[in-house]
């Protein structure tokens, strides 16, 4: 598959590039500043672009099979997450390319709470994270309202950190996936496995899924 990845220099994006490449996909890694692309396998196509710029989205996605977006705005500019979501959806409406959007856990339902959301749990979302959580909630609603683009929204678990690639995890739909100790977590490496599995299998078109151990 021809896969374009926005946010390719980030924690999630880097692992997605490596996972897609290891499975033989043709990978295009997008950076706002290509001088910050670092050491990348020579098979990766490196392209300059901004996911919040609709013209860039159209130009870079044309002819691709899938766009993965894993961008994160800097603290204090959380609203930019919505600019990116809007440009991606509007741009991909024009090129007809599928979108796999890495979002947030905020909109997931807490298990055994009669529908309480993660965003309303102050232990999982302390005040300092409230703005990004609200932006993620709006981002998810934005996707839900779009019936033109073939989008899939992926909610990470509460915690995502560097570690091993085990290939073993569980998928969920709208509820936070927690382990026997009540923890909701995964490594960036395994999260990337779930992303590229979805890229290949297309099990959640027009839907959200989540993944955790």
Ligand X SMILES: NC(=O)c1ccc[n+]([C@@H]2O[C@H](COP(=O)([O-])OP(=O)(O)OC[C@H]3O[C@@H](n4cnc5c(N)ncnc54)[C@H](OP(=O)(O)O)[C@@H]3O)[C@@H](O)[C@H]2O)c1
Q: Which positions touch ligand X (CB under 6 A)?
A: 6-7, 9-13, 32-33, 36, 50-52, 70-73, 84, 102, 104-105, 156, 158, 160
10 vs 150 by CB, closer to ligand X: 10
Say if residues 2 and 28 touch (Cβ distance below 8 Å).
yes
Q: Report which of 204, 161, 205 is spatially closest to residue 15, judged by C-alpha positions.
A: 161
Q: How far is the CB of 145 from ligand X (least distance, A)?
A: 19
- Angle at CA of residue 114, ends 141 and 205, nearest 5°: 35
**Runs of H (alpha helix) within 23-145:** 54-61, 80-95, 130-144
How far apart are the C-alpha atoms of 187 and 163, rounded to whole Å?
A: 5
56 vs 98 by CB, closer to ligand X: 56
Q: How far is the CB of 65 from ligand X (least distance, A)?
A: 20
Shortest-Cβ-distance residue relative to ligand X: 10
Q: How far is the CB of 202 from ligand X (least distance, A)?
A: 21
98 vs 156 by CB, closer to ligand X: 156
Q: How far is the CB of 14 from ligand X (least distance, A)?
A: 8
7 vs 91 by CB, closer to ligand X: 7
Q: How far is the CB of 205 from ligand X (least distance, A)?
A: 20
Q: Report which of 143, 152, 207, 210 is spatially closest to residue 176, judged by C-alpha positions.
A: 210
* Residue 76 falls in which region: left (phi positive, over 0), alpha (psi -120 to 50) or beta: left
24 vs 170 by CB, closer to ligand X: 170
3-state SS assignment for residue 123: coil
DSSP 172-193: ESSB----TTS--EEEHHHHHH
146 vs 210 by CB, closer to ligand X: 210
Q: How far is the CB of 47 from ligand X (least distance, A)?
A: 11
- The pair phi, psi for residue 46, each rounded to 5°, is -105, 125
Say if residues 110 and 164 touch (Cβ distance below 8 Å).
no
């Amino acid at each position: 598959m021809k896969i374009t990845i926005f946010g390719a220099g980030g924690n999630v994006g880097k692992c997605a590039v490596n996972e897609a490449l290891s499975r033989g996909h043709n990978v295009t890694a997008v950076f706002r500043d290509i001088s910050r692309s670092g050491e990348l396998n020579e098979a990766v196509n490196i392209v300059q672009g901004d996911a919040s710029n609709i013209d860039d989205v159209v130009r870079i996605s044309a002819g691709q099979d899938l766009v993965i977006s894993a961008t994160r705005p800097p603290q204090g500019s959380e609203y930019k997450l919505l600019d990116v979501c809007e440009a991606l959806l509007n741009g991909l409406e024009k090129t007809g390319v599928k979108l796999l959007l890495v979002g947030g856990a905020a909109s997931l339902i807490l298990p055994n709470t009669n529908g309480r959301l993660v965003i309303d749990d102050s232990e999982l979302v302390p005040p300092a994270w409230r703005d990004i959580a609200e932006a993620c909630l709006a981002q998810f609603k934005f996707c839900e309202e779009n019936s033109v683009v073939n989008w899939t929204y992926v909610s990470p678990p509460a915690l995502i950190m560097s570690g091993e690639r085990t290939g073993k995890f569980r998928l969920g739909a709208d509820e936070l996936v927690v382990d026997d100790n009540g923890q909701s977590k995964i490594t960036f490496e395994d999260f990337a496995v779930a992303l590229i599995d979805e890229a290949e299998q297309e099990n959640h078109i027009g839907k959200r899924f989540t993944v955790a151990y």
